[in-house]
Copies of this chain bind each other. A is one copy, B any other.
Amino acid sequence: MSLNIAVLTTGDELINGEMSDTNTARIAQLLSAWGYAIKESRTIGDDESEIEAALRDLSSRRDVVISTGGLGPTDDDLTARAAARTFGRRLALNEEALAQIRRFFAEKNKEMHPRNEKQALLPQKALILPNRLGTAPGFYLRQGTCDLFFLPGVPGEMAVMLEELVLPHLYERSGGSAPQQERILQVFGLSEPKVEERFSHAPLPQGVHLAFGVEFPFVRVKLRARGESADELLNRAEMHARKLLQPFVFAVGKETLPGNVARMLTDTDRTLALAESCTGGMVAQMLTDIPGASRFLDRGAVTYSNAAKQDWLQVPEDILNREGAVSKACAQAMARGIRQAAGTDLGLAITGIAGPDGGTPDKPVGTVFLALSAKDEQRVQGYRFSGNREQVRRISACMALEWLRRYLGNHY
């Protein structure tokens, strides 16, 4: 049975322009992994009569309502009271909820503020949904044929409660058929139409469904199957997809490109140094975002000036004069130079024209050269990326990381 599901997110900050609602997309992602979809999402402010109107309307038209926000301790947290009114229930102190809040503070060795007691005031006969990450317990109500789940608005707390408490309930309600499972392959270097085309020539095993998502500059390939053999089906589908999309799959599931490069460097005990021109430190920043980056990253040079390229990377003046700083020869010299300066296993260099200015007929905006230097390999290549400054910079940085990933994959 397919469930008709609505999301209700509340909070003044979501409709006054301060922030965009991201809970809806997060909920949709988590639901879709189990094969459920959202029909509608509503966002309203911290306004009791608006919350009441929305709950009344949604509960009469949907099978499931997932509400987020408005469960905090302050005066503008109105969801529990609005839910009680909407469905004609009394608001009463829920002892179980109170015990959970007390426990939360005790475990943190913090004193509980009296106003946190308010968070235990729930509609009568509500079942509490424990929150192990924060003070706000969620709750569940059944009204007519509608299941209503009330979760906190903090994304991390909401997501855990959705996965652990709401999804199993939906699974049971929708007949206990095994939930859909999802495996996501992340692809870089092939456009969505090209990925689709490859699959159209070599379809997946029966029972596996395919969907796509794009998050610049990556394409996500989503493999989905349900039933008892879903896991095995997805293993086969993943093998199939990997073969089809070789060598463009850089990650599975929640892995990231910099995360995988970092792991491979650490696993193989290799060290790295970077020389960045047009990306201006973006590769260094992406890698140092990862805890423990000091184990493999020795240094990075952001060499905007020619003097810096000469001093630190020993790029010959001759190359700069004859070929220019944006050239194959310069990229190669930068990679070799940074590897030698740092004494690392690998040296990686990027030089290019990110725009909007600086392009020439020969080397238009988007011209980028990458070079990799290792003991056993010297590689250099030119690209012509399209897009604005930010996009050229991002795709260049990702391509540099992808070079590292492929090199390390071949030298594991």
**What is the count of identical protomers in the complex?**
2
Q: Determine if A40 and B24 form an interchain contact, defined as CB atoms under 8 angstroms apart.
A: no
> Given contacts A20-B21, A28-B15, is CB(A288)–CB(B304) below 8 Å?
yes
Interface string of A301-318 (1 = CB under 8 A from B): 111110110011000000
Q: Does A97 contact B (CB under 8 A)?
A: no
Contacts of A307 in B (CB 8 A): 298-299, 342-343
Contacts of A308 in B (CB 8 A): 298-299, 342
Nearest-CB distance from A143 to chain B (Å)? 19
Q: Determine if A39 and B15 form an interchain contact, defined as CB atoms under 8 angstroms apart.
A: yes
Number of interface residues of A (CB under 8 A): 76
Residues facing B in A31-55 (CB within 8 A) are: 31-32, 37-45, 47, 50, 53-54
Q: Does A357 contact B (CB under 8 A)?
A: yes
> Given contacts A284-B281, A289-B390, A300-B302, is CB(A17)–CB(B21) below 8 Å?
no
Q: Determine if A45 and B54 form an interchain contact, defined as CB atoms under 8 angstroms apart.
A: no
Q: Determine if A293 and B304 form an interchain contact, defined as CB atoms under 8 angstroms apart.
A: yes
Nearest-CB distance from A372 to chain B (Å)? 18
From B30, B54, B297, A40 is in contact (CB under 8 Å) with B54
Q: Determine if B43 and A39 form an interchain contact, defined as CB atoms under 8 angstroms apart.
A: no
Interface string of A212-253 (1 = CB under 8 A from B): 011100000000000000000000000000000000000000
> Given contacts A15-B40, A25-B17, A292-B357, is CB(A301)–CB(B299) below 8 Å?
yes
Q: Does A29 contact B (CB under 8 A)?
A: yes
